[in-house]
Chain A
């Protein structure tokens, strides 16, 4: 068991740091920089040109075929440097690996290199008004059509949909049959006639997810991803990729958020308060526990090819720690937390984070659903649903 980098990992890390120093955004003393879409695209493009997109992907699709440890190092260093995610994070982390696994040769060459370069921005259209946790209940229908399929329905909560060129979408192709055999996945064009994106605003005020209305959208046959009726398996592969080095990205960003909390406590003169000290120390322990569980899960994945059972808890516990950090940030402000706006401490950063962090225990599987996953798949307790 070893915590330190190997020789090669050390070199890789140093190169990433050097590149980020030269190309990243220097972290300021207060709240982090907010990136607009244009800056995000530019940064992602530069990062791709430097060889930092698709680190684990096969070389034939523009990747570097390195193992997950290098991806983890890159992810971690980017987070620590407060560099943003690739604008196509859904494409690079979720859709791309799914296309590598299930795509035809033509789909692979049509999409994979453009996912990495940022020319084919993806969003994910799984959730619907009537199908959230119970994803297999999707109602969007895909009927056979002379040119392939025609889709009708509605998707919600789709992150990055307002920027996306394409959507990995789950729809019902077979009206009959068990629900897990009636679904199919499609790679749809967001500019096709009949696709309408309506931005949704979160309670924090951010508007980075949307509704997608689909009315008679014609999707060519060759945009079916994986077998017809095999969409459930394809979708599960996509969601599984949300884990992997994802846990490491989350905890690295949490480390940076925690450092902001410490700076806030010091700037507000609360760092000698014994209750604050204990709260901060306790959060630090939880953060380090998550970070090192992420490393363990990664090592297990490298060793066995399967994410270890411990990876199932990362997102569950990350969300509660991130929420607690934001809550403590607000408490440190005391009465000032009643206010918000550019004239307040760090421009109302903690107040916004407090509101924003409530999404953490909902997005990407709610905490209730994740506890159920641990109970049934890890602890092998009897199923609660029939």
Chain B
């Protein structure tokens, strides 16, 4: 066993960190969050090699930690985790940013001879406004299949609901209504294997992102606890401040181990549902609680709009809610207790 990033993997992670720290410093992220304008640095992602087919799941996990740490705005996880493997199953590449909707239960595909058309509703699709194409899992007479649709094509309506917004402005979501939307078939997936694989991959990557989010929250808090002086001493010298940060560190490392395990298991594939569920459960819980500890450590500053910490907290809350639909604890209970 050698459960540790190899030299090459460590280098990949370090390079990702340098690039992201440089491109997305705190103030820039705050600006992007405030303005809410989508920002898909697709060409750069391609240049970095983060869209390469050769990237293994461990590499994806390591990069996702860093994108979570900086809140890099692109919907990279959906592209690299789910959409690209579907395009590649058809031997093609998308031309720009893509989103993913794994909505077999609510979306039907009908084949009128040469052409496919999709009908139904895609619930809460992140990035449905900012990408060119959406990869959609739909059911056909022969079981599930994966299609690509154009996000502004005929028969595609991205729905605005009055008074509905996303808690994380970098993960804007919307329902998409499809009525005879023309679609390209990417892959028939009668046994649901491809859909299963890409679902587990994205689950694992979002869990990894959660670790990055928590890691950054902790970093900010430790920095503050070291520098902020009250009663004549840095507040980090008080155990009541320091010990919750030590527990936060434990949460981060424990969740990280589960993400790495899930990444290794998916690399050796197939399967991995229980491992991803464990990673998701630990990571979402840790992202939320570590951000909450960080907010507490900052005192009044921590709860202001100006101070950027809440964007990380919002991402943690988004991850927790977004991934709750997979019911990670139920999956684990089924594995352990039958």
With the chains together, A217 CA to B31 CA distance in Å? Answer: 72
Query: How far is the CB of A29 from the nearest CB of chain B, in Å?
Result: 18
Answer yes or no: B4 CB below 8 A from chain A CBs.
yes
Answer yes or no: A300 CB below 8 A from chain B CBs.
yes
Answer yes or no: B21 CB below 8 A from chain A CBs.
no
Q: Are A382 and B226 in contact (CB under 8 A)?
A: yes
Residues in B with CB closer than 8 Å to A286 are 254, 282
With the chains together, A317 CA to B218 CA distance in Å? Answer: 18
In the complex, given contacts A278-B333, A285-B332, A310-B253, what are 12 additional A-B residue pairs having Cβ atoms less than 8 angstroms apart? A1-B6, A2-B264, A280-B333, A280-B336, A293-B253, A293-B254, A372-B246, A375-B246, A379-B246, A380-B222, A381-B237, A382-B236
Chain B residue total in the interface (Cβ 8 A): 46
Residues in A with CB closer than 8 Å to B238 are 384
Query: How far is the CB of A377 from the nearest CB of chain B, in Å?
Result: 10
Binding site for A on B (CB under 8 A): 1-6, 9, 58, 218, 222, 225-226, 233-234, 236-239, 242-243, 245-247, 249-250, 253-255, 257-258, 260-261, 263-265, 268, 278, 281-282, 329-330, 332-333, 336-338
Residues in B with CB closer than 8 Å to A372 are 239, 242-243, 246
Query: How far is the CB of A134 from the nearest CB of chain B, in Å?
Result: 15
Q: Are A1 and B254 in contact (CB under 8 A)?
A: no
Query: How far is the CB of B28 from the nearest CB of chain A, in Å?
Result: 26
Mark the stretch among A3-11, A125-133, A156-164, A195-203 that contacts chain B. Answer: A3-11
Residues in A with CB closer than 8 Å to B226 are 380-382
Binding site for B on A (CB under 8 A): 1-6, 9, 69, 262, 265-266, 271, 277-278, 280-282, 284-286, 288-290, 292-293, 295-296, 298-300, 302-303, 309-310, 313, 316-317, 368, 370-372, 374-376, 378-384
Q: Are B258 and A285 in contact (CB under 8 A)?
A: yes
With the chains together, A4 CA to B267 CA distance in Å? Answer: 12
Q: Knowing A316-B250, A380-B226 touch, does A292 contact B6 (C-beta < 8 A)?
A: no
Q: Knowing A262-B336, A384-B237 touch, does A379 contact B249 (C-beta < 8 A)?
A: yes
Q: Knowing A289-B278, A371-B246, A375-B245 touch, does A2 contact B255 (C-beta < 8 A)?
A: no
* A–B complex contacts, Cβ < 8 Å, 10 sampled: A1-B3, A1-B5, A1-B6, A277-B330, A288-B258, A289-B255, A292-B3, A295-B3, A313-B250, A380-B222
Q: Knowing A289-B278, A299-B3 touch, does A281 contact B333 (C-beta < 8 A)?
A: yes
With the chains together, A278 CA to B254 CA distance in Å? Answer: 19
Closest to A272 in B: B337
Option from A300, A370, A376 in Cβ contact (under 8 Å) with B4: A300
With the chains together, A69 CA to B239 CA distance in Å? Answer: 36
Residues in B with CB closer than 8 Å to A296 are 3-4, 257, 260
Query: How far is the CB of B221 from the nearest CB of chain A, in Å?
Result: 9
Q: Are B3 and A313 in contact (CB under 8 A)?
A: no
Q: Are B1 and A284 in contact (CB under 8 A)?
A: no
Q: Are B264 and A266 in contact (CB under 8 A)?
A: no
Q: Are B336 and A381 in contact (CB under 8 A)?
A: no
With the chains together, A316 CA to B247 CA distance in Å? Answer: 9
Closest to A378 in B: B249
